[in-house]
Amino acid sequence: MDDPRPCRDPKEQHAWAATAAGTLRVLEGKWKIVIIVQLLASDEPLRFSELERRIPGVTQKMLIQQLKELEKDGIVIRTLYPQVPPKVEYSLSELGRALTPSFQALVEWSYLKERRLEGCSVA
Amino acid sequence: MDDPRPCRDPKEQHAWAATAAGTLRVLEGKWKIVIIVQLLASDEPLRFSELERRIPGVTQKMLIQQLKELEKDGIVIRTLYPQVPPKVEYSLSELGRALTPSFQALVEWSYLKERRLEGCSVA
DNA sequence: CCGTATCCTTCTAGATACTG
DNA sequence: CAGTATCTAGAAGGATACGG
């Protein structure tokens, strides 16, 4: 495994850590990870109601709130079709899709952690 | 880039998203990412005071709180040297170090995002 | 040096009801 | 269908003081 550190100079490391942590704060929020994973897992853009259906337990308020923040941060794209009844689709931006490798790695890690918790052989 | 989805069956995708999101909740908390990045960036275990010094803005209370949770979740290891004055070192467990690829990818993504924000050529 | 204990503020999330 | 508007409870975070 490669050295994760872009630089060994302590002051640079510090700046690096701070930047990373700051940027990653856009992923904070109880439902953002699930939303992104659902959009990653889907071939096509998802309608608001479809997201709501796929994310059990979320309320409309929370869903719209987190989607708005993700949109503001340039991660998801909202497309409104001016129809009656209204139709809105959400998809990942290029920046959002660039999260793919990170999420792949995190999902693998989550499997590792789950295996550790259960202490059993899922494989 | 590979398909991030472990399975195309919708029901499996749902379970996958839920599991991942649940597990990743152990990374929630204002200071956990910074703590992990600092420990990843360091060759050696870090003393409590050293972490405090490297994470500007954190209070003792928050630092110890987040460290305790990370320890409870099996990500960091606390080692107490029974001396006077006391010495405590924190390091990453095997599970913690397994976060390396994820964090590498996330840090790269954060660079991408920052470049996007600045609209300039860092490279 | 490495924490605990208290108090206080802010932020988050959820329930519920309503609208173009 | 896809939201908005209020209200409220609780969690998270922070300031400060103290202790082994």
- Nearest to residue B70, comparing CAs of B43, B106, B99, B41? B99
pLDDT in 10s for each residue of chain B, 123 residues: 455 555 666 677 777 777 778 888 999 999 999 999 999 989 899 999 999 999 999 999 999 999 999 999 999 999 999 999 999 999 999 999 999 999 999 989 999 998 877 765 443
Q: Is the dihedral of CA B4, B6, B9, B11 positive or negative?
A: negative
Ramachandran bin of B2, using left for φ above 0, alpha for ψ from -120 to 50, beta for the remaining angles:
beta
A61 CB below 7 A from strand D atoms: yes
The residue that minimises its CA distance to C1' of D5 is: A61
Chain B residues 4-43 within 7 Å (CB) of strand C:
none
Angle at B70 between CA A5 and CA A34, to 5 degrees: 85
> Which residue does chain B place closest to A74, by CA atoms?
B113
Instruction: Kindly list the residues from chain B whose CB atom is less than 8 angstroms away from the CB atom of residue A38.
Output: 13, 17
Q: Which amino acid is at A64?
A: I
CA of A59 to C1' of C9 (A): 27
Chain A residues 81-100 within 7 Å (CB) of strand D:
85-89
What own/partner pairs with CB < 8 Å and gap ≥ 24 does B57-62 have?
A: B58/B31, B58/B34, B62/B30, B62/B31
Average pLDDT, chain A: 87
pTM for the full predicted model? 0.87
Q: Which are the contacts of B80, defined by CB distance < 8 A and separation ≥ 6?
A: B86, B87, B88
Of B24, B34, B109, the CB nearest to A98: B109
What SS3 state is found at A76? strand
Which tokens is A89 given?
């689709």
What SS3 state is found at B12? helix
